[in-house]
Structure 1
Amino acid sequence: MNIPFLRSLPGLGRRPLSKVVASAEATSTGAAAALQYLLAELPELLMAAVIAMESGQVLATYATQPQLWPSTAAPFWMAAVQQLQANQAAQGSESDYLEEVLVTLPTQLHLLHLASNRQYLLCLAIEEADTNLALAREVMRQAADLTIHTTF
């Protein structure tokens, strides 16, 4: 019997939604703290993730919708950021570095923010109608600082 409601219940074949899922390294790197901060400041958040740029490992994720799985999209986000960094290096602009990428969809905004130490990529998706972009950008900057300055 195919009952759509049952597929959305935790433990019945799908990962739980609206829950921060963190790796063992998420606490020591500040990734879990960054995600908790994003959730506190942007409660209407659809999806968020913290990715280690060197290894490509997804350190912490959060999703509210089944079609927004950050761990599936992470390799594509990293590839996009790396391509933009390579383009910038090819143009010879070493004094500037890539800070963030904004992807606009008809109803959503996806924001990719590279921490200033370039070790972590923070990603989020929000409904365009629910959040001010300037506010989301500032919250992302502050969350990125948590990944840099958190030491345990």
Structure 2
Amino acid sequence: MGVITLEKEFPVNVSPAKLFKAFCLETDVLMPKILSGYIESSEIIEGDGGPGTIRKITFVEGKWLNYVKQKIEAVDKENFTYSFGVIEADVWKFAEVEKVIYENKFVPTPEGGSICKRTSTYHIKGDGEVDKDKIKEDVYGKKTEGLLKAVEAYFLANPDA
């Protein structure tokens, strides 16, 4: 089994505390609001929100994916870090991928925003091969940046949220 690790940083005009809230603490409430055209629901199906918790995200009908299950690996509220693994999906974009672990850290900027530092580790099945550039294009292209921009827009429009 091979492993591909990618690292990328994304600037966001929202504080680390608010990003952590959206991505970790209140995901099941906020993400369906923020991404109402994409996410139908997000719910914990096992656990209490801490490490070991399994979350199922159901997407709006007609999207390229119907659902995904995530397993929370680690949560650090003081340092605004968390990690989770994608452990199941009805359609894997890359059939050779067994699982993906995402590690996220939200670091403050002097201007009051954040840098989202993301490390993604792709665990490849057996002798399978995946084009690293295709993963970069697919995951770090429009999708991750678009997700962060949607969260940013939500909090800029709803500063008390």
Relative to its length, the structure with more helix (as a share) is 1
TM > 0.5 fold call: no
